[in-house]
Chain A
Amino acid sequence: MAISDVASFAHLSAADVEALGGEFDAIRRDIEAVRGEKDAAYIRRMIYIQRRLVVAARITLFASMFPPAWVAGTAMLAAGKILENMEIGHNVMHGQFDWMNDPEIHSGTWEWDTTCPAEQWKHSHNFLHHTFTNVIGKDNDVGYGILRVTSDQKWHPVNLGQPVYNALLALLFEWGVALHDLDIEAIRKGNKDPKEMKRQLKSIGRKVRRQVGKDYVIFPLLAGPAFATTLSANFTANIARNLWSYLIIFCGHFPDGAEKFDEEQLEHETKAEWYLRQLLGSANFEGSRLLHVMAGSLGYQIEHHLFPDLPCNRYPEMSVRVKALCEKYNLPYTTGPLHRQYGQVLRTLMKLSLPNKPAAPAPQRPARVGRPSPEELRQHRGPIPPQAAVA
């Protein structure tokens, strides 16, 4: 569907849309003008906390044959990995802190603690997902090539297994992310350049060797008598991180209210319409400051999509302004408690594993006599109704 077909936008004129775009630009400028030591201190502090957590976890796990140490070590390691992937890695790789001009905290140099190579993530996520957000056929995050997340995607009997695929993806999320930039859809259609695929696989292989070596060989071996318990702790921490990131990420674009678009939308899309697509295609969730940090600030998915390269610690203040704009222009601002948002995601996934219900009779447009007036045509931003074309 194109933006102009989305009911909640139908009341906006082209001039309104451009004015709204200007207001979003103003938010960006204001944040750029004030970002400074406070923001730098924030990310440095996150990095500091995360590294201390990991060191504490690794040391604690040397005693992991004692169950309390296993529990504490696993919890700290999982928290450290979640912080690194979500609040630090994801945001730093977006270039949110490039302005610091610090080669150690820069989108060009950051490598994160997961099996997906940073370079591939930046392509599939920063570029494809953030530019073509929710455009079916362009944004591979719409179902990740294996799930049917909107009724606009054609049903296939293979979708019947969706509840199982979903559970597997949640458990193995890290691996799904690692393979994501290979573009399963392109491989399936035979469009993938074999040379590029080989290069990508090699890069993934190198990263996997190091990640697996660290968690499942080196640290367990170093732990000596605690080999097995360290191994199980590291495994559990990785799975916990997988489940958590899956949960958060699925609440970004799949809850009710987050719209999907077709490729037509991209034709002649203005910057202002791009903003609208980001706003309409994303969903926030509510929670405490701690929850937001552990979620990599993705509880502010709307703000993140409007301004993906502004420092994440500014999202809360931006959200106040974005919400006010939504009220001013009478636009939806999709949000809710995390459990409700995820509940909607799960319901959608289950429902869409089955074919669409036979369409209810479409609401009839009011019968029209003759051509629409020029004024109507100007205001109508969707496809011209067939009557107008024939008349």
Chain B
Amino acid sequence: MRTLITPLATLRDRGRAMSVPQKLATAAAGAAAAALGATALEVRRRVADSDASPGSGIDLVRSVVARMTTPLLPDDYLHMINPLWSARELRGKVVEVRPETHDAATLVITPGWGFQASYQPGQYVGIGVSLDGKWHWRSYSISSAPDRAARGRGTITITVKAMPEGFMSEHLVRGLAPGTIVRLALPQGDFVLPDPPPAKLLFWTGGSGITPVMSMLRTLHRRGTMPDVVHIHAAPNRGQAIFRDERVALAGTHPTLRLVENFDDEHGILDVSKLEAACPDWRDRQTWVCGPAPMLEAAERHWESAGLGQALHLERFSAALTASAEGGHVVFAKSGREADLDGATTILEAGEAAGITMPFGCRMGICHTCVIPLKKGMVKDLRNGAEYQENQGVQTCVTAAAGDCVLEI
């Protein structure tokens, strides 16, 4: 349940992920290998220009066809026939929007070419949705269990809770029609269930933090390898407990799965002091915790004070969008330089002052030569006050830091 990873970073990760030998020799491999280590903005050119010798049969075909479609890729034509036939930008089709509670819904998505079906339970996926002409990216934990038998033809599900003032989550829960094409980033994250699982586990989840753990529970159920599991789940009330029926049913099927539910309205807030009572042998268990930040912090303190930090796996919800600020601490990630900026110094000036060779052109915001990917944080356009969030290229010559940010240079 992270929010806001960058598609730019994701593309690179896709390259990395694909460099690991894997059975999935899809059409994406060529593109992804070429993308290895490149920024997203370079990906396409690298792919188009790549004279590297192709690795497999399908890559050979792809590279021959790319000679005909140059400077485009075959994918650029194929996705006009079927939107899922492109590995250049991973796409998915929303086939069902299933309400879970009054403010949460599960999206069932059929991924297109190049998507990695062999994700690990607990990983998250980037999803891009076009709203009023603009692509917005968020990340959500996958709630489905990986289905090896489906050989990439299956679906994945993510489960989204509409957050107050979260326009994207609101749109995903209530505004997305089945049939909508979304963009996807490859699954990633290390909050995962090892295979085979440890003998004794504790899952502690709060609210929509259930989603990665649901993927783990479903995986254990599907594989028939349910070990000794205690699952403590906290929700505001019964009605808002996501997947409640399924979890109760699973606990009925598997005697080794014990479900402890805490409804804040009935039982008060669940804190670590109640943990001892709910699961006295918590010290003996590998533990996965996912939920709101205060809960994660409490768990971290509790396990570390017991000297058991190694046994604890956390999935952090990142804070909601950074509130806009004047200036901030700017990190230039690749060059390892940093600077504290006021709200009037442009990123370009700051980078140059820090001794970085920044790309620049007109220095007045018209030529787009100076565009650099913004990895984290927010910048503000000094001309009109428009704010740009992470995961897009920003014109450094007319933008200033609006809070702490990280730039990919």
Contacts and interface: CB of A to CB of B under 8 A. Distances in A.
Interface of A: 25, 28-29, 32, 35-41, 48, 51-52, 55, 58, 94-95, 98-104, 106-113, 118-119, 122-123, 126-127, 130-131, 206-207, 210-211, 213-214, 218-219, 222, 271, 274, 308-309
Interface size class of B (residues with CB under 8 A): 35 or more
Given A103-B43, A112-B71, A214-B67, A274 B367 contact: no
Given A41-B133, A98-B393, A103-B40, A271 B364 contact: yes
Nearest to B66: A210
A100 B133 contact: yes
Contact of B367 (A48, A55, A130, A206): A130
A131 B361 contact: yes
B135 interface: yes
Contact of B132 (A36, A106, A113): A36
A101 B133 CA distance: 9
Interface stretch (B44-52, B96-104, B239-247, B273-281): B44-52
B7 A103 contact: yes
Nearest to A132: B362
A126 B89 contact: no
Interface string B60-76: 00000001101110001
A113 B133 contact: no
B392 A51 contact: no
20 contacts: A36-B133, A36-B134, A38-B133, A40-B130, A94-B368, A99-B133, A100-B134, A108-B41, A108-B42, A108-B371, A109-B41, A111-B71, A112-B71, A119-B45, A123-B361, A127-B361, A127-B367, A131-B367, A214-B68, A308-B366
B364 A210 contact: no
Contacts of B44: 103-104, 109-111
B133 A206 contact: no
A127 B70 CA distance: 26
A51 B80 CA distance: 9
A94 B384 CA distance: 19
A100 B135 contact: yes
B132 A108 contact: no
Given A51-B80, A111-B44, A127-B361, A101 B134 contact: yes
- Which of B71, B130, B134, B362 counts the most A-chain CB atoms under 10 A from its CB? B71
B136 interface: yes
A32 to B, nearest CB: 6
- Which of A107, A112, A211 counts the most B-chain CB atoms under 10 A from its CB? A107
A130 B366 contact: yes
Given A109-B45, A111-B72, A207-B49, 16 more contacts: A25-B383, A37-B132, A37-B133, A51-B77, A103-B41, A108-B393, A109-B43, A111-B71, A118-B45, A126-B367, A127-B369, A131-B366, A206-B51, A213-B67, A218-B68, A309-B367
B89 A131 contact: no
Contacts, number: 133
A233 B131 CA distance: 42
Contacts of B384: 28-29, 32
B306 interface: no
Contact of A111 (B48, B134, B369, B395): B48
A242 to B, nearest CB: 17
B133 A107 contact: no
Nearest to B64: A218
B307 to A, nearest CB: 46
Interface in B386-408: 386, 391-393, 395
Nearest to B365: A309
The 8 closest A-B pairs by CB, nearest first: A40-B133, A108-B41, A95-B368, A127-B361, A111-B71, A131-B362, A126-B367, A36-B132
Contacts of B233: none
Contacts of A40: 130, 133-134
Contacts of A210: 48-49, 67, 70-71
A104 B48 contact: no
A123 B77 contact: no
- Which of B48, B132, B368 counts the most A-chain CB atoms under 10 A from its CB? B368
B93 interface: no
Contact of A126 (B11, B68, B135, B369): B369
A218 B67 contact: yes
A103 B386 contact: no
A107 B362 CA distance: 15
- Which of A37, A104, A271 counts the most B-chain CB atoms under 10 A from its CB? A104
